[in-house]
Amino acid sequence: MFDYQPASNLLDNKTILITGAGDGIGRAAAVSFAGHGASVILAGRTVSRLEEVYDEIEALNPGRAIIHPLDLLTAGEEDFKVLANSIDEQFACLDGVLHNAAQLGPRSPIEHYPYAQWQELMQVNVNAAFLLTRALLAALNRSQSGRLLFTASSVGRQGRAYWGAYSVSKFAVEGLMQVLADELANTSAIRVNSINPGGTRTRMRAAAYPAENPATVPTPESLMPVYLYLMGPQGEALHGQALDARSFDPLKF
């Protein structure tokens, strides 16, 4: 694992939005970012889980978290505009977005994949990521060091049988990252990357591998040095990269 000991004030005065902040990697990232000085915007569809994360952050680092309920499946353009306007009213800029939320969907052959679930998964994993990014680019551009971090998957870099819409959606996420990175390379201070967390102890992992012993899988917290590095000042050197958390080494780039 990446050996990195960030300063406690690494993200001081930064504002970072995390989707899927109520659980798993999103929760760990929100707590970790706030613990290193950031104000975090907790976005997700299950308010009770967001409130639990909020309470956890409030107990450790008061005043560093706000909740913005957002269901990526049903949200339309206007909902993302409302979020952007809310951020504009409360903060001078937005310094980072972690696109963490995603649906797994059925694991079945393409021949038998249900169209309704295909559409739902593409809406959450791809369309919502596009709409959210588009709505927040102006706020990110006001930052001197904006970060856009998309969550990738190994099955979105090499297709795998029976992973269906999830695999295809993650290929699309990589494409969105690459297009944005190319567009922003010479016109913006925003750094855009994707990161594959690898097998991690989350609800999604348990759903995909129900027979697996969770104790054999790394925790979301074990990934946080990589996420902190990418959101911090040293992450400025990385742009347009498809990264892997388990083998992350910034000296390779």
Active-site annotation, residues: 166
Evaluate whether 94 touches 15 at the Cβ level (below 8 Å).
yes
Residue in the block written with tokens 């499946």: 73
Report the b/e string of 186-204 with b at 16+ CB within 10 A.
Answer: eeeebbbbbbbbeebbbeb
Alpha carbon 118 to chain centroid distance? 21
- In angstroms, the CA 127 to CA 120 distance is 10
Report the b/e string of 154-184 with b at 16+ CB within 10 A.
Answer: bbbbeeeeebbbbbbbbbbbbebbbebbeeb
Helix (H) or strand (E) holding 232: none
Evaluate whether 24 touches 220 at the Cβ level (below 8 Å).
yes
